[in-house]
Amino acid sequence: MFEIFKSEKGDKFYFRLKAKNGQIILSSQGYASKASCKNGVESVMKNAADDALYERKESANGKFHFNLLASNKQIIGSSQMYASKASMENGIKSIKSNAPGASVKDLTVEG
């Protein structure tokens, strides 16, 4: 499930993709408008299946993480840090299976 939310200051919109177990598997950059944030969610849904758009990285401390890129090579989402390359690859698999048909929950709507 994707969740759209605002920063604590309330000046930027963000999205996060959660796996079925509730763990956050992808987080966005800040967006100036809700519409552009929703476009980011749609871009993840559209691009999640393309393995070539995952930018796999190893940090200086030996942990692993990745970015999901749009077709124009802009980063649309980033992962958490993983202790191993295998767990990072499992994170990518989770996005590939969860993102395309995920629901979107807008947490910015006042209830």
What was the pLDDT predicted at 111?
Answer: 46
In contact, 78 and 26? CB cutoff 8 Å: yes
Distance separating alpha carbons of residues 100 and 87, to the nearest angstrom: 21
34-80 confidence digits (pLDDT tens): 999 999 999 999 999 999 999 999 999 999 999 999 989 999 999 99
Tell if the pTM clears 0.95, that is, is over it: no
Residue 52: DSSP 8-state? G
**Three-class SS of residue 67?**
strand
Which structural domains are found in the chain, ordered by start? Answer: 2-103 (2.30.29.80)
Dihedral sign, Cα of residue 47, residue 29, residue 7, residue 95: positive
Query: Which pair of structure tokens corresponds to residue 7?
Result: 């920063």
Q: With the C-alpha atoms ordered 71, 73, 74, 80, is the resulting torsion angle positive or negative?
A: positive
3-state secondary structure at position 27: strand
Burial class (CB in 10 A: 0-12, 13-18, 19+), 67: middle
pLDDT exceeds 60 at position 82 = yes
d(CA 82, CA 23): 13
